[in-house]
Amino acid sequence: MNNILITGAAGFIASKVALRLLSEGESVIGVDNINDYYDKKLKHYRLSLLQQFPNFTFYRIDIEDKGLLSDVFLKHKIDNVINLAARAGVRYSIKNPHVYLTTNAHGTLNLLEMMREHDIEKMVLASSSSLYAGHKMPFTEDLPVNNPISPYAVTKKAAEVLAYSYHYLFQFDISVLRYFTVYGPAGRPDMSYFRFIKWIDDGEELILYGDGEQKRDFTYVDDIVDGTIRALRPLGYEVINLGNNHPYTMIEMIAIIEKGLGRAARIKTLPVHRADAEATWADISKAKRLLDWEPKVSLEEGLDNTIQWFKQNRDFVRKLEIDLSV
């Protein structure tokens, strides 16, 4: 049994990674500051699922706080770190860039330092397809991305290269995973698919930025979990895309949701944001080669699972606050 530290454990992706590892009998130490970027009720809901496992330990701490992190590393003999804690929205990073830098870059640096002090070699680090915004897709990992177009992407790049220097200097084994638009049950209410399902289900007007022809390489969370766990294997330092390799337009995604809910959307369009990518599309040949990974869940199936979760948790979802400013 391994002791795996997962940061951002109350978050969408990390909670699902933790669930999978716990059910496989691993021991998970979860860390999260439960910030209020989106409704905390969702974070507590996810945590409640993890807390049913005796092999789960949780600390509500901030990865920016090296002292508190240090206590966790002293208390547990940690084998691997999966760093998924982050400030994750593109638009909010333009309003509040400092917190992105302090969490995504400085927080990652704190974890790397803890690993150095405690002789831990392996980190899986979440990065993002947002680094490719402004580039032509599909994109391979080895092409340079040195002109990020949002503070969010800048801070993800900062974390990637900080981790590289620790690999070079101290032989850390780092798997950097660039995730592409991850969706699924109990996901993030700041993301379009979550809002679209909720708005269509509630009969509310759906707010769409741009003409809906933007493409996203929507990737189902279970596939992302699978790739993240595979990336725990020794790799040296590798940057790997985890995406679906099958982009859909927003209009196509809305049509699938309408079909699943049996209701038509009332669409109101607003101007597209400058920092939003026109299209994302992952070249996943490296993930196939290094991780023997490829996505298995189609957008139709993944959205269907997500809609089922919404229906089963309708009362809970209706109480969630959606902050349109993020």
Measure the CA angle with vertex 59, ends 28 and 17; round to 5°: 35
User: From the CB of 264, what's the least distance to ligand NAD, in Å?
Assistant: 26
Restricted to residues 24-43, the positions that interact with ligand NAD (CB under 6 A) are 31-35, 43
Restricted to residues 101-120, the positions that interact with ligand NAD (CB under 6 A) are 103, 107
> Which CB, 169 or 177, lies closer to ligand NAD?
177
Q: Examine residue 84 and tell whether it contacts ligand NAD (CB under 6 A).
A: yes
Restricted to residues 275-294, the positions that interact with ligand NAD (CB under 6 A) are none
> Which CB, 64 or 304, lies closer to ligand NAD?
64
Residue type at position 270: L
Strand partners, 279: 215
Give the residue carrying structure tokens 């998970």.
28
What Rg value do the Cα atoms of the chain yield, rounded?
A: 19
What is the CB neighbour count within 10 angstroms for residue 171?
Answer: 10
Binding piece for ligand NAD, criterion CB under 6 A, among 7-15, 270-278, 289-297, 315-323: 7-15
Strand partners, 241: 178
How much of the chain is helix, strand and coil, in % rounded to 5? 45, 20, 40
User: Which listed residue (59, 152, 179, 248) is catalytic?
Assistant: 152
Binding piece for ligand NAD, criterion CB under 6 A, among 10-18, 141-149, 203-211, 302-310: 10-18
> Which CB, 27 or 192, lies closer to ligand NAD?
192
Restricted to residues 183-222, the positions that interact with ligand NAD (CB under 6 A) are 188
Residue 122: both structure tokens together: 């392996």
> Which CB, 272 or 326, lies closer to ligand NAD?
326
Q: Examine residue 21 and tell whether it contacts ligand NAD (CB under 6 A).
A: no
Q: Which of 80, 181, 228, 241 binds ligand NAD (CB under 6 A)?
A: 181
Alpha-carbon gap, residue 188 to 15, rounded angstroms: 12
Task: Check: CB of residue 171 under 8 Å from CB of residue 122.
Answer: no
Alpha-carbon gap, residue 25 to 240, rounded angstroms: 26
Binding piece for ligand NAD, criterion CB under 6 A, among 179-187, 208-216, 233-241, 292-300: 179-187
Q: H-helix or E-strand containing 69?
A: helix 66-75
Binding piece for ligand NAD, criterion CB under 6 A, among 62-70, 165-173, 263-271, 284-292: 62-70
For 54-68, the DSSP string reads: TTEEEE---TT-HHH
> Which CB, 27 or 83, lies closer to ligand NAD?
83
Q: Which of 182, 298, 181, 282 is nearest to 240 (CA)?
A: 282
> Which CB, 119 or 283, lies closer to ligand NAD?
283
Task: Check: CB of residue 310 under 8 Å from CB of residue 162.
Answer: no
Q: Which of 4, 6, 8, 22 binds ligand NAD (CB under 6 A)?
A: 8
Q: Which of 2, 41, 64, 255 binds ligand NAD (CB under 6 A)?
A: 64
Task: Check: CB of residue 135 under 8 Å from CB of residue 145.
Answer: yes
In the residue annotation, 152 being an active-site residue is answered as yes
Binding to ligand NAD by CB under 6 A, coded x per residue (else -) over 238-277, reads ----------------------------------------
Alpha-carbon gap, residue 131 to 178, rounded angstroms: 8
Strand partners, 124: 82, 175
Active site residues: 152
Interaction site with ligand NAD (CB under 6 A): 7-8, 10-14, 31-35, 43, 62-64, 84-88, 103, 107, 126, 128, 179, 181-182, 188
